[in-house]
Structure 1
Amino acid sequence: MGTEITLDVGGVAVTYSKNHRGIDHGSIFQEQDRKAIRSDQINYEWYEKNDENPESHEMAFTRRLRHVAPRLELLGFNLERVRREYGVIASEWKGEELYLHEGEERTPPIEPMSFIEFMNFAIAHPIGSLDDTFVSPSSGHESAAQIQVRFKGKGIERIPAYGLSPSPSFSEREFFMRLINILHPYSVLRVLAEAEANRDAAVVWQYGPLAEAGWAAEREFFPNARRTETFLIATEGSSDVHILRHALALLRPEVADFFRFIDVSESHPFSGTGSLVKFAEGLAKIDVHNQVLIVFDNDAEGLEAHQRLSTLMLPVNMRSVMLPQLEEFCSFPTQGPEGVHHTDINRRAAAIECYLDLNAGNHPPAKIRWTNYKKNLDTYQGALEFKEGYCKQFLKQTRDSLDRGTYDVRKIEAVLDYLIAECVAIAVDQFDPTDVEPLNLF
């Protein structure tokens, strides 16, 4: 008979394998997601009778869909990628429909659902609202038809591959999953995550039964982003590395393992904008396959370097960005030869320390001091006073101190959201529509 291993959401499988590990789903989980949960492949009566602990057979990774969704995005499965994948599937199905019914009088031919229609259908039926009562195929036509009654009049015949599955459905919930499970499993999860009612559904990859049966070794099941799925964040200086790494650990721990940084334990090997540009140029020339995000400060030197790098044709796995422009920087205290004025420091003087809480610590009111003139840009470069102190104050913060609300993280959160979005774009840009698995139409 063998042993199955599935990736489930809300108690229904989106993909499965038998007698081997199949797809490696470790990347959508973290170590804290590993736990023992009850399995329908375990004979609990035997364990109770023999006074044995079934925990090793029950081992699984489980995580709420709302916490899986950000990891799916960094793996390249955002809604834009899903839309493109669906377009390939729908176009293929339409072509096959025309071929299979060539010469028949069908006016007009069936048009597949648009992606928006498909997504709206998928999220209109939360998994938890669907009946998972088992219905045997031998129980009669009426019982089998009852599984589908909720979806009548919903245009399901326009869902690509509708009616082509050779296997019967055993519950309303399973029938629904068969309707929408025409994409990559992670694309299906990402679509389902758009429904608020689905976001607390458990995503489960239970490996215990398969490992205990000897079909796979337990060491094959480990969490966190794989090396090829991570992003190298290359910055101008050491303080950028320390701040971003600490910010991810505190504010985005659910995806922090996707990001790597240049080792600055002794010194920054590519310190400064000029060195960072040369580093990026070198990576592009050797066609490095790592996913790389080059990050410049939101100041004049960063702008000049970013413009220089933008003249290169970077590969799809590399991007160059500047720290985001913020409204808070449009009128910021600055010190120059003519005294103190409130000035827009975006693209002129906003290094990463400016995104920290500038009211934290025992410092005078935050202020930029203008330094050197950038002739190419016809503007001055500025620097935040006491920036080292602001950095040290942030690195002292803990999750408990942030929960007390005494430290303002809104600006640094804006940085994280921006950088994560750019990394998602890198992952999505590498999606090749020709890699979409063809539908099993026969």
Structure 2
Amino acid sequence: MGSMITLGIGKMELDWGKNNVFNNHSCLFQKEDIKIVPYYYSDDEIEYKKGFSKNIMSVKRRLDLLGYSLHEIEELYNEELAMFKQQLSSSIPINFHNFYNTVIKIDIKNINMTSEEYDFDYDLGEYVRKCVIQEIKELSTFPNYDAYDTGYFFENLDPYITLRILSENTNNHDLDVIWRFQDIVENGWILEEDIIPKLTTQEKILIVTEGSSDTEIIKKCIKLLYSDIADFFDFIDMEQNYPFTGTGNLKNFVKGLSKINILNNILVILDNDTAGKSVYNDIKGIDLPNNLKVITLPNYKDFDNFKCKGPREIL
């Protein structure tokens, strides 16, 4: 049968591969997420080995940054549906809203896709027909349902779409997403170091601010409040020759970036003072690429009137 590698929650599998043919899901995890997790085998055998494990709410935040927000997954689903129809001259009767309403109601704790009856080699689409739909019977209740077309479509559907929907169900918020990779490592198909999480340039976000203090504060806040996504963010090094100090230089920087093919996702944060807002209004007139965003620091009423320490006294 070969060595399996699976992504799932509990005993619900969302993606699977064999030997050296698999999707790399390391972007969902951080290095510290390597833990000892359960592996389920036939005859109800359970072994505990290394695997990636992260709470589904942390994975949800990572998915949002990777382009899988609720709005985006609807577009992705519809794109895959249209491509399927074009390639096979066939249509699936399950639109996104039907799929969403079906998946979000799934009781993961009652799903068991590791049963011995599913422990076989399958052709393309067969696993979904015989295993997934067996566990999630609602997928077969739509009008004009065709088992073969449905199996083929859902076996090729981006698993992050399903995972993102599952994260919306509050009953799942205490569950962990697990990527079980150890079997293919033990059998020599890959090295563990090959799947150590490392985000690509396109997945990361570069934050640029007017001054070094802004960057230090934002960096510390992200680390304290959202350490599970802190690895997504890079900051320009302010220790030596920080090149973009001041609103005027930031404006020129943004203009320059708008004219070249940048790979990074870049977020430019301006102060919300008069100068910052003026530059922000100027930049709004520039045709910016989709991966370059400019914002100002938010206004908070709590900061409208507060005591501070001046050179001589508390004001």
With the length of structure 2 as denominator, give the TM-score of the two structures: 0.81
Is the radius of gyration larger for structure 1 or structure 2? 1
1:61 aligned partner = 52
One-letter amino acid of the counterpart of residue 302, structure 1: G
1:229 aligned partner = 203
**C-alpha contact (below 8 Å) 1:181/1:188 kept by paired residues:** no
1:324 aligned partner = 298
Say whether residues 1:80 and 2:68 are aligned partners: no
Match of 2:111 among 127, 130, 134: 130
What is the Cα deviation at residue 298 of structure 1? 1.2
Cα 1:181–1:123 shift into 2, 3 Å: farther
SS of residue matched to 1:125? coil
Flag structure 1 segments of 5+ consecutive residues without an equivalent.
Answer: 46-53, 101-109, 138-143, 168-177, 334-357, 359-364, 368-384, 387-442
Match of 1:247 among 221, 226, 246: 221
Whole-Å Cα distance in 2 between the matches of residues 150 and 82 of structure 1?
20
Whole-Å Cα distance in 1 between the matches of residues 233 and 135 of structure 2?
47
Cα 1:162–1:22 shift into 2, 3 Å: same
Whole-Å Cα distance in 1 between the matches of residues 164 and 256 of structure 2?
36
What is the Cα deviation at residue 36 of structure 1? 2.4
**C-alpha contact (below 8 Å) 1:180/1:188 kept by paired residues:** no
Cα 1:42–1:271 shift into 2, 3 Å: farther
What is the Cα deviation at residue 84 of structure 1? 0.7
SS of residue matched to 1:164? helix
1:25 aligned partner = 25
Say whether residues 1:210 and 2:195 are aligned partners: no
Write out per-residue CA displacement over residues 286-312 of structure 1, whole angstroms, 9 at most, x where no aligned residue.
222211111101111111111121211
Alignment of 1:6-45 (within 5 A): 6-20=6-20, 22-40=22-40
1:338 aligned partner = none
Cα 1:316–1:28 shift into 2, 3 Å: same
SS of residue matched to 1:63? strand
Q: Which runs of 4+ in 1 moved over 6 A?
A: 94-97
User: Structure 1 vs Structure 2: percent identity of aligned residues?
Assistant: 31
Question: For this pair of structures, how many residues does the alignment match?
Answer: 298
SS of residue matched to 1:229? coil
Write out per-residue CA displacement over residues 383-403 of structure 1, whole angstroms, 9 at most, x where no aligned residue.
xx68xxxxxxxxxxxxxxxxx
Write out per-residue CA displacement over residues 214-272 of structure 1, whole angstroms, 9 at most, x where no aligned residue.
11112102125333311000100011011001111111111111001110113522100
SS of residue matched to 2:51? strand
Match of 1:120 among 101, 106, 113: 101
What is the Cα deviation at residue 200 of structure 1? 2.4
Task: Give RMSD over aligned pairs.
Answer: 3.4
**C-alpha contact (below 8 Å) 2:140/2:147 kept by paired residues:** no
Write out per-residue CA displacement over residues 361-392 of structure 1, whole angstroms, 9 at most, x where no aligned residue.
xxxx149xxxxxxxxxxxxxxxxx68xxxxxx
Whole-Å Cα distance in 2 between the matches of residues 198 and 275 of structure 1?
47
Say whether residues 1:157 and 2:160 are aligned partners: no
Cα 1:133–1:310 shift into 2, 3 Å: closer
Match of 1:279 among 249, 253, 258: 253
Cα 1:135–1:165 shift into 2, 3 Å: farther
